[in-house]
Structures are given as structure tokens and as C-alpha cells.
Structure 1
Amino acid sequence: MKPARIDDRALPPLFDIGPLWAILWGRRLLVLAFTGAALLLAVLYLAVTSPSYTATASILIDPRDARATNFNNVLPGIGADSAAIASQVFVIESQDLLGTVFDSQKLRNDPEFSSRGLISRVMSLFGGGTPQDAAFKRFQKAVSVEREGLTYVINVSFTSPSPEKAARIANAIVDRYKASLAGERETANDDVNSLLNDRIKGLQKDVSDAERAVEDFKSQHRIVDPTDGGTLQSQLDQLTTQLIAAQGDADKAKDRYNQALAAGTSAAGLAKLSEILSSNAAANLRDDYNQRATELANLETMYGPRHPAIGRLRSELDRINRLMAGEAMRIRQQLKANYDLAVQNAGKLQDKLEALRQQSQDSSLAQVQLRQLDSKAQAARTVLDDFLKRAQETSQLQGVQTSEARTISAAAPPLQPTWPKPALLLPVSVFLGLMAGCGLALMLGPVGRPEDDPSSQRRDAPQAVDPGQD
């Protein structure tokens, strides 16, 4: 006997969409009512909701440090660090920056922000803040700042019912941010310049005290400035050179004096004396003597020794001899005076040199102390020069600070509202209403009882299988 088999085609399907469709069709009025209600609500929302416009301005944070001069800025640029760029978003959203824009644009009494709704009035009763704070918070909510991916671009957006106001405030926020960057550098530059000037006053006093200490030490120990040939060693060298020259002059004066003593008072001797010491009187006397001697020799040859003119010439020659002897004596005295003066000068230089040598021995320790004082003064002077140079640079940087941010796209009044969007709200409302109506219809079930439907009874009744069928 073969076991009975059940035909798989006779079994009911695991999921039959027919009953669901029957329920939805039976409740179609309910589904349509929900769909229409959702669509009506969307239309009413579009009718009563004021459109809002969002204007966006884009700025580029340039990682390059733009400088108008070769001077180093007091405050460096933002740089290329990603975290530093991202932090600028919070700077733009900061309360200080937005508060400045809020006040500069005179938005405190703007109805868009100052108008208070029911919730705001209720919150104010429980200490929710002043109306001015509430207006500023509404202004903050309308501001949106976002970084464009991992780029150096930051988008600043503002949402307002007025497209012109949205563009104006977005551009005002960007302008204020750019001005704040340059203002930070100017403020830092002014602060550093003020500190430098205060410090320079103290450094100038330190340099003055150090230089005065050096000069007082030099004066106390009789140390002359080296630039004037003034160290003791340089003075010793100079005096040694002068002493050698003075001793040479004394030796020359002595030789000339000895030559004058050996020359005698004759015409030949007087000629030699005139060569030793230039004397016009000696030369004239010698020439006059030679002329008279020549005349005397000629007269003696022509007239003999008894001629009256010969006696007169001999008397003249005697007178000239006496004059020549006097001139020779004067020359010897002058040479003697020159010799004595040269010896005296050499002696004075020798005494001065000995005194300086003694002073040089006593001032070795003073020179060491002087070098220490001079090094201290030079170090103070170097620091002062650095501060003066930096102060000059910072003073020249005033008014030429540049901003790292530049506008690459200014905000323009938008042509289309950001919200509400009918093209989005209407299809979504229809879809949501349809889904809500279908869900409620399925929850309520079919319109009539299932057992009252004959077609359902026939479909649900099991069918007998003929045992004789294979």
C-alpha cells in the first residue's frame, strides 16, 4: 500500500500579498485620507513658513607667510598644520568675533532676532537670560562655519529671511575675521614694541654705567685710550723711538760742536763753520776778507809795501779778522747750545721712559680689570644694539601687517530659498501620508470578517488527493 502524498502546489504560499492588498483596497479611503491630510499639512506649512536664504562666503587660509618686508614678524602665520587650520573654524564661531559683527551690523534691535516667541518668554521667566542674550543666541544659530574637507578653504554661511541681509552678514563675518588676523599681529607688534622700548631704557642705563666705570677706571689708573695711542705699551714704544732719535740728535750736535772747535777763526775755518751751521754773515765776511786780501796782494805787487793804500787795506783786513773771530765764537756758542739742548731733551725722555716702565709694571693687574670692565660694557652695548635694531624693525612693521586669509568667493544674495523646499516637502509628505495610511489600514485589518468571505473559505479549505494518482 502506497502512502498518500500531498501535492506541494496545493499548499498555501508562505507570504500571500493578496490578503494585504485586499485589506488596503478595502481601507483605501482611509489611506487616501491620510495621504491627503499629509499633503494638506505640507501645503499649509509651505504657505505659513517664511522662506529662509543662506548666503555663503569662502575664504582661503594661505599657509604661506606673506610679508611686506624682510623683517621677521612678531606673530608668525597660521602655518600649514591641519589642526591650526581647523581651529580657525572655532575662531570664526567665537563669541567675541560674532559679537563684534552683531554690534557693528546693529542687529540687537533687528526684529528677526529681537522678536520673542512663546517659548522664549516662558524661558525668560525661569532665568533664561536677557532679551539681548536671546537675540545674540538666535544670531549665532544662523551662522554656520565649515571647513571644506582637508583643504585650506573655510565656508562661512548665514541664514536669514532676507537674501541681501544673509549675504551682507556673511561678508561682514569674513571681513571681521580677516581684520582680526591683521589686528592680532598689530596688537602683538605694539605690545612687543612697548616692551622693547621699556627694556631699552634700562639697557641704555646699563651701558652708560658700564662705559662710565671703564672711563673712571682708566682715569684712576692713568690709562689712555688705545685708539689715541694710549696704552702704556704704546707709550713706551713711542718714547723709546723718541729717545733714540733724541740721542742721535745729541750725538750729531756734539760732532758739529767738536768740528767748530777744531775749525779755528781763519777764513778757511770760517768757511768750514758756515758749512756746519748756515750763516750768511760768515759767508759775507769770508767773501769780504778774500776780496780785500786780493786787493792787498795786487797793490803790494804794483806799488810795494810802503804805499798808503796798503796800510789802509791791512787795517781793513784786521777789522775783518776780528769780525770773523766774533762770528766764529757766536757759531760755536750756538752749536754748544744746540748740543746742550739735545742732551737735555734726551735726558728728559730717558726719565719719562723710566717712569712709564715703572708705571707699566704697576698697571698689569689694572689692565686685566680694565679688560673685564670693557668686556662687560661691550656685552651690554651688543645687547642694546640688538634691542634697538629689533625695536626699529617692529616700529617699521606697524601698518604693513598682512592677513593670511583672503576671500576667494564673496557671499552673494541667493536666488533660491534654502528652506522650505516644495520639491522635497511635497513628495515626502505624500510618501509619509501613504505609509501612515497603509500602516493604520493593516493594523485595523479587513473591512468584513474573513469567515464571511466565500472565496476565502474555498481558498483556505484543504483539497483531497486521489490516492490512485501517482
Structure 2
Amino acid sequence: MSLALPSLALPASPGLAEQLLSLRRRWRLVAACTLLIPGLALLALLWMPPSYTATGTLLYDPASATPPGGAAPPQDLQNQDEITASQSAVIASLPAANVLAAQLNLAQRPEYNPALAARPWPFNLFHTTKPPNAGAIAQQVRRNLSVTVEPGSRVLTVAFTSTDPALAAAAANLAMQLYLNHERDQSFAALTGAQSWLETHAGDVQSQLDATEAALAQARAAAGVVQGTQGTLTTETASRLTASLVQAQADLAMNEARLSSATSGDAAANAAIAPNLLPMRKEQADLTAQAQSLSQDYGPNYPDLQTARTQLAAITGEINAETARELDAARAEVAASKAEVATLRGALANARTQSQAEDAQSAPIRALEQGAQASRDMLRSMTEQAGQLAQDASLTRPDARILSAAAPPAQPDTPCRALILSAAAALGFCAGLLLAGLVDALDTSLRSGEALRAALGLACFALLPETATPKQAALDAPFSLFAEQLRALRTGLGLAAGEGRIIAITAARPGEGKTTATIALARSLAAAGLRVLAIDGDIRQPGFNPVFNCAAAPGLTDHLQGAATLEAIFLADPLSPLTIIPAGTPTRAALSLFLSPALPACLNALRSRFDVILLDVPPAFALAEGRVLARLADSALLCVRWGHTPRRVVLAAMLLLREAGVTLAGAALTRVNVKAHGSSGYADAEIYQPRYGGYFNR
């Protein structure tokens, strides 16, 4: 007899149908993951506070800050986007965030101060969060505050996010108001600084004028010239030229300053050059807003939109042309002022030379008179400019205005619960499929007769279902599914009357149900009219003792030792015509007894008295006595627990049995979960379907 395992053809790779059936067998795992992950996501969403975003809009319009009667600043169309975008940094700056946090008292809100957040037990026992400092709160405000610029426009969108919708709206509105105040303060500070500078220098000029007039009075007294006496014609001419030169120099300085500011892109200076552009810019802003509205509502090919864009291009061209004309005019004024200054300087130099030649003695007096007149003219000009700056400062307005204030949002924008739960359900389903496939791939147990045949190369005679009382189920319900599987097992083993067959029933390891199968099969055969003998061959852990209450009765070991006759060790089953032989008295020499000639002689003597002899032998891995008993039988039945015993363990047990010379007739799956196997999709699960209910008394 060959001891090698038969060559077993490996099963082909499972196709799509088999994979779907494996998922069907693990549907509970897929369903659990599909429900568990969305459930955890729902708990996280319930724990996570909703977030609200309030939005307001600003229009950055430097022209609106021009005082009444002042010149509007020219627009720098090329840098308009960069200038507008720079305002967003001002709104969301750290100083502005500090002011916003202080005015809204955000340090007293749990959203910004984790130390105030309520924590359920037992998390509150380990709560050691320190209150954040002002800098941390300001940084959190900056993260929650966002400012965006609408492309191609001067509209800034200010948004603030918070768990409190009222706070979100209040913070967005306060951020816009702080920006307006900042712009107003900046303009006021610039004008006030210029006014202070003029007033300071006017004081210096006044002091210089006082000193000049005192020196002039002393010079007149020394020269005997009465104050108010008219000088020579040349002196009067030089005086007039000096006054004209001072005025021309002042005008030149102002014109150069205005031209320098206009060419540098300063909005206020540009407005001062071209005040007549205010209506055009207003019309341009209206056309821009109209074009944006039509573009959003009707698309780029709408006729009114094209007309509006044409008008916008025309008015923009007019503004650019008018601005260019005004700049050219300013440059012309500067050039004219320079020429006038040069002319006056030349004329003044000639007049002074002539005056010095005419009256050298009056030269100091004339110089003092000219200096005094120049100081008076400069003082008057500074006083006028300071007054104008004071008037402009009183009418200071910010460079932007609020288009729409932020309102408390009615619905949270985050978290999007429907989307998150849908994604969690999809993720849970995919994870369930993956986990089910992984579990099925790692499950090396045998769950069908087809799998058993493919893995072991043995015939699968029966699938014995799990029942409450399997040892007597065939007697209590002879038409049950369990009883029918016992009959299938009898058919597979080929047990019939008058043959005297000896069948060993074994398993790879304990708990496989071999003793239950032995007793149930023996009772079924005995109830069918066969002369059946069941022998308990497990000496160390007798399985018959609790069933037949025969722990103290003599048994197989007693007979083999010569302490009892065959008749003395026979016991009758009270529930069926079955005859049993208990294991007998435990002994350390059990293996020697089984290897002695007494055991084969005993079995040969029993063949003639019984049609079927069933040997309940120990598991293959447990004792060598089991393999000896199985070798003495005509064939052996290997019991494999359904969905429990790994393939490698069963294969190793088969190798041990065949190396011992045991003939394996086939195998049986025991302790089958009827409900799970019925929904597994295996071919041999067909018998568990409801359509077969009329054949079995379940």
C-alpha cells in the first residue's frame, strides 16, 4: 500500500462568479463595515460643531475719497488688480486681527479658548489645556478670515467662518469697518502731517521776516531813509521782479510736485490734475457693474452686454485720453513755469546790477526790502496751503465703501453631512468588500464537499448539520435532514447486512465530532435493522461514557488483558438495538494491547456476529493507538469540522494515517451551520433551500 498522498490537482483560479459567491458568504461582514464606518462618521459629525461663513463685499474706489471740489486721482489701469489685491492684505493683517479679537471678546468664547470648552466625563478629568494668548487668538482669527478679489474688478469679498452664525456676520462686518477706519485714518494722518509741516515752516519764515524787517529798519535809520519813501525806478523794478520770481518758484514747485505725484500713480494727485474726470469715472463704474451683471445673467454674447462693453471701452478711452491731455497740460505748465522762472531770474539779475550801479548805498536796504517781501509772499502762500489742507482733512473719506454687509447665514457650510455620510457609506462598502475578500482568502477551512474533494482528494459522503441532540436526532426525527445525511454516509461507505465491515471513524484533532458521528451512525444503522457494534477505542478520553453511562463498566482494554470475556463487555443501547463496547479500564499499556494479537483476534471474532463494526478511534495527531486501530479496520472515515479545521491540519492527518497503512474510504463534514451554509451559494447547499422542505421533517 502506497503511503504517499495522491497527487491533487489544484483548483483553478476562482472566476467572477466564485468571487461574488465568496462575498455573498461574507455579506454580514460587508454589511457591518458598510454600517460601521458611516456610523463612526455620523458620531464624528455629531461631535463636530457646524461651521458658518458670513460674507460681505467692499468696493475699493479711491475716487470716492476725493474731497468736494478736489481733483480726482487718475486711474492706473495696468496696476489696478495689484493695487486692489494689496488691500486684502490690509484687511486680514495681524494688527487688524488683534483689534477684531479684542472688540469681539473672542478670548471668552470656547471656539477660540479651548480651556472654556465643555468636555464630557472622563475627558474632563485629564483636561490640562492652557488658555491661549492674544497672539494665538489673532492667528486663529486670521485663519478664519478670508479676503478675495473678484477677477477684473475692484470688489473685495470679506468672509469669516465661525461656529456661531451671528459671530461670523459680526466679525465680517467689523473687519470691513476696521478697514474703512484704517483708510480714513491713514488719509487724515497724511494731510495732518503735511499741514503740520507747513505750519512749522511758516513759523520759521515768520521769524526770518521779523529779523529782516528789524535789520531793514536799522539800515534805513543809518542811511537816513524814511520808512515808506519810494526808491529809484530800478529798485522798484527789482522788487517787483523778486516778488514775481518768488511766486513763479512757488508755482513751479507746486506744479512739479503735482506732476511728480501724478506720474508716480498716486490716486490723490491724479484726482487733483483731472477733476473733470469724476462724471466719466462714475459712468465707467456704472458700465462696469452693468457689464458684470449682464455677463453673469446672460452670457458673453448677449447684445446688451456687447453694447455695454463697447460703451465701457469708449468711456475708458475718453478717460485715458483726458488723463493724457491733463498730464500734457501739467507738463506744459511746468515747462512754462521753468521758463518764467528763468526769465525772471535773468531780469532780476539785470535789475539788481543796474540798481547797484545807480545807488550803491541803497543796495543793503533794497536787499533787505526784497528779502522781506519774499518772506511775506512765501508766508502768505504757506498760510493759504495750510488752510486748504485743514479743509481737506476735515472732509477726509476712506478709499473704499461697503457694498453689502454680511448677514448671519441660515445654513452651515461645513461639514457637508450628506456628502460625508455618502462617502463614508461608499468607503465602508469598499472596505467591507476588501475585508470580506481578505477574510475569505485567509480562511483555509473546508466549507463544502466540493472544497473538501478539491483539497483532500477524498470523497465527501455527507454534510452532518449541527443539531441540539445529534447522538439521538436520527431516532427522534428519522426523516430529518440530519438522519438523511447519516443515510447518505451509509451509502457512501457501502454498509450492508451480512458483510461484517469494520469502519474506523477518526479526525485530525479533538472537537471535530467523530464520536457524535460514530454514535449517530451506529444508532441509525441499528434502527434500520442491521446488527451494529460500536467500539470506543479512545482509551484516554472515552467518548461513550457520558452518553451510555458506562464509565465503570468493563470494556475493550479489560478484554484484551484477559480480564473479561466478549459477552461481559457488551452493553445494550437503551434507545436502539445498538450494541456497544466501552473503552474499559485506562491503562498505560494501551498501545501494547492494540499491537498484540489479541485485538485482531477480537475483531475477527466480532465480524461474524455483526454486520457493521464502528471504531471510534482517537484523533490522528493525539495518540498512536488511534492509527493502529484505524489500520486494523477495513477502511476509515475522516471527520472534518465544517468551517473550522484548516486544510493543512487535515492534510497532515491524512499523511499520518496513510503512513500508518490506513485505508481512507472518504470524509464527512461535521457540525455544519445550516443557516450559513444554506446562504453560501455552494452547490451542496441546495438541499438546505426551502424548496426541499417537503422532503424533511426539520
> Please, what TM-score do these two structures have when normalized by structure 2?
0.40
Kept in 1, the 8 Å contact 2:93–2:142? The answer is: no
Matching residue within 169, 172, 192 for 2:171: 169
Relative to structure 1, is the Cα distance of residues 361 and 381 closer, same or farther in structure 2, using a 3 angstrom cutoff?
A: closer
Summarize deviations over 1:359-415 as a string: whole Å, max 9, x none. Answer: x99962234444544443344334323321221112112331111111111111111
The runs of 5 or more residues in structure 2 that have no matched partner are 1-11, 118-122, 237-354, 455-698
Relative to structure 1, is the Cα distance of residues 203 and 76 closer, same or farther in structure 2, using a 3 angstrom cutoff?
A: farther
Aligned to 2:36: 37
Matching residue within 202, 205, 227 for 2:204: 202
Aligned to 1:421: 416
Aligned to 2:57: 58
Matching residue within 396, 402, 406 for 2:391: 396
Considering fraction of residues, name the structure with more helix: 1
- Root-mean-square deviation (CA, aligned residues, Å) is 4.1
1:10-409 to structure 2, matched below 5 A, reads 17-18=16-17, 20-71=19-70, 81-116=80-115, 124=130, 130-223=132-225, 229-231=230-232, 364-409=359-404
Q: CA deviation at 1:427?
A: 0.9
**How far apart are the structure 2 equivalents of 1:81 and 1:384?**
39
Between 1:64-73 and 1:162-171, the stretch displaced more is 64-73
Question: RCO greater where, 1 or 2, for CA within 8 Å and sep 6 or more?
Answer: 1
Relative to structure 1, is the Cα distance of residues 115 and 70 closer, same or farther in structure 2, using a 3 angstrom cutoff?
A: same
> Please, what TM-score do these two structures have when normalized by structure 1?
0.57
Kept in 2, the 8 Å contact 1:22–1:446? The answer is: no
**How far apart are the structure 2 equivalents of 1:366 and 1:200?**
32
Kept in 2, the 8 Å contact 1:65–1:77? The answer is: no
Q: CA deviation at 1:55?
A: 0.7
**How far apart are the structure 2 equivalents of 1:65 and 1:25?**
72
Equivalent position amino acid for 2:36 in 1 = A
Equivalent position amino acid for 1:231 in 2 = T
SS at match of 2:108: coil
Considering fraction of residues, name the structure with more strand: 2
**How far apart are the structure 1 equivalents of 2:135 and 2:360?**
76
Relative to structure 1, is the Cα distance of residues 368 and 20 closer, same or farther in structure 2, using a 3 angstrom cutoff?
A: farther
Q: CA deviation at 1:140?
A: 3.4
Q: CA deviation at 1:205?
A: 0.7
Summarize deviations over 1:281-327 as a string: whole Å, max 9, x none. Answer: xxxxxxxxxxxxxxxxxxxxxxxxxxxxxxxxxxxxxxxxxxxxxxx
Q: CA deviation at 1:156?
A: 1.5
SS at match of 1:112: coil
**How far apart are the structure 2 equivalents of 1:366 and 1:25?**
125
Equivalent position amino acid for 1:30 in 2 = L
Kept in 2, the 8 Å contact 1:78–1:85? The answer is: no
Kept in 2, the 8 Å contact 1:164–1:413? The answer is: yes
Q: CA deviation at 1:78?
A: 10
SS at match of 1:419: coil
Relative to structure 1, is the Cα distance of residues 229 and 419 closer, same or farther in structure 2, using a 3 angstrom cutoff?
A: same
Kept in 2, the 8 Å contact 1:27–1:447? The answer is: no
Relative to structure 1, is the Cα distance of residues 378 and 72 closer, same or farther in structure 2, using a 3 angstrom cutoff?
A: farther
Summarize deviations over 1:316-365 as a string: whole Å, max 9, x none. Answer: xxxxxxxxxxxxxxxxxxxxxxxxxxxxxxxxxxxxxxxxxxxx999622
Relative to structure 1, is the Cα distance of residues 83 and 27 closer, same or farther in structure 2, using a 3 angstrom cutoff?
A: same
Equivalent position amino acid for 1:175 in 2 = Q
Kept in 1, the 8 Å contact 2:65–2:396? The answer is: no
Q: CA deviation at 1:233?
A: 8.3
Residue identity (%): 27
**How far apart are the structure 2 equivalents of 1:230 and 1:64?**
52
Kept in 1, the 8 Å contact 2:94–2:139? The answer is: no
The runs of 5 or more residues in structure 1 that have no matched partner are 1-11, 236-359, 459-470
Equivalent position amino acid for 1:396 in 2 = Q
* Pairs aligned (count): 316
Kept in 2, the 8 Å contact 1:55–1:166? The answer is: yes
Matching residue within 427, 432, 445 for 1:432: 427
Kept in 1, the 8 Å contact 2:97–2:139? The answer is: no
Relative to structure 1, is the Cα distance of residues 18 and 372 closer, same or farther in structure 2, using a 3 angstrom cutoff?
A: farther
**How far apart are the structure 2 equivalents of 1:428 and 1:220?**
104
Residue 413 of structure 2 is aligned to residue 412 of structure 1: no
